[in-house]
Amino acid sequence: MADILGGYLVGKALKRQGVECVFMLCGGHITPIYLGCHEEGIRLIDVRHEQTAGYAADAWARVTKKPGVALVTAGPGVTNAVTAIANDVAYDQVFRKQLEYFLRDGDAVLLVSASGNSPNVVEACRYAKKRGVPTLAFVGFDGGELKRIVDHAIHVDVDNYGITEDVHQGLMHILSQYVARTRRS
């Protein structure tokens, strides 16, 4: 079997989801995704700031009722793109809004909040539950509101953000490996 770059797999996945174009700010480490999108015939629209990519993807989704995708680099790029959505709708709605666009029957929602009280994560959980979708949360400290409203919680009972987030990251790796293995078999 020939090797394939992960970016090409992303391009194929986006195409399967009906993505026609992506809004982006070029960055070296996500170039394989651009190549994968190009290979799949997805239009690439380069912008000058990550927030612009976020606004454009949101506007595209609202106007066309098709998936709007912003490709941005890690770190500040992600923060800038999410800020675009938050500015449009409100920060406590930023994850709920994404669920409104993309949540489908048969999905489950994984929520992660060290405190369990992040308003945007709690609101996303409420929306998922209203839609009848199973919810799982990784929480720390006392679990907060999220632990009380989620269907299933994995509670890291420590009062330390660093330890809580490290354990959550390990759990996400385990979960992603499980999903990958399950899909292969």
Using the predicted structure, report yes or no on whether residue 141 has a pLDDT greater than 70.
yes
The answer to whether residues 22 and 67 belong to one domain is yes
The answer to whether residues 74 and 101 belong to one domain is no
37 part of a folded domain: yes
Please say whether the beta carbons of 49 and 25 come within 8 A: yes
**pTM metric for this prediction:** 0.69
What CATH number does residue 131 fall under?
A: 3.40.50.10490
The answer to whether residues 149 and 121 belong to one domain is yes
Percent of the chain exceeding pLDDT 70 equals: 99
In terms of C-beta distances under 8 Å and separation of at least 24 residues, what long-range contacts does 72-77 make, across chains too? 72/24, 72/25, 72/27, 72/30, 73/25, 73/27, 73/29, 73/30, 74/29, 76/50, 77/25, 77/27, 77/50
pLDDT score at 96: 93
The answer to whether residues 101 and 65 belong to one domain is no
The answer to whether residues 81 and 104 belong to one domain is no
Q: Which of 78-87, 97-106, 122-131 has the highest mean pLDDT?
A: 122-131
The answer to whether residues 110 and 164 belong to one domain is yes
- What is the span of the domain harbouring residue 156? 95-184
- The CA distance from 57 to 165, in Å, is 29
The answer to whether residues 99 and 46 belong to one domain is no
1 part of a folded domain: no
The total domain count for the chain is 2
Kindly report, residue by residue over 11-20, the tens digit of the pLDDT: 999 999 999 9
54 part of a folded domain: yes
Band (47; pLDDT cuts 50, 70, 90): very high
What CATH number does residue 79 fall under?
A: 3.40.50.970
